[in-house]
Amino acid sequence: MNEIEARADLIFTVVQTVFAMVLAPTLRDQYRQKASTVPLWTSLTTAIGLFVLAVTQFSLGLEVASVTAVISGSLWLAVAGQRMAYGA
């Protein structure tokens, strides 16, 4: 268990970076098609949750992970913005 605790910042950073990378094509495709398929509520609650995680991670000394959580949360906010701009 100490190994996981020692590498928590790296683990969170890698996972959150992968999540952000997986979301990027959705942003691109919705921009190209000028249409959004992701529900607004889903994107907003995910963004809020990621911002809460960022604050929590920062308070635990996981600075790099908190930055990647902010980036992921910002991407989800962009998805929400697309939903509001493009609709269904």
Dump pLDDT digits (tens) for 14-50. 999 999 999 999 999 999 999 998 999 999 999 999 9
Query: Cα(50)–Cα(18) distance, rounded to whole angstroms?
Result: 14
Which residue type is seen at 73?
G
Tokens read off for 16 = 């959150």
Which residue type is seen at 31?
Y
Give the global pTM.
Answer: 0.89
Query: Cα(33)–Cα(74) distance, rounded to whole angstroms?
Result: 21
Tokens read off for 46 = 């995910």
Residue 88 has what pLDDT? 64
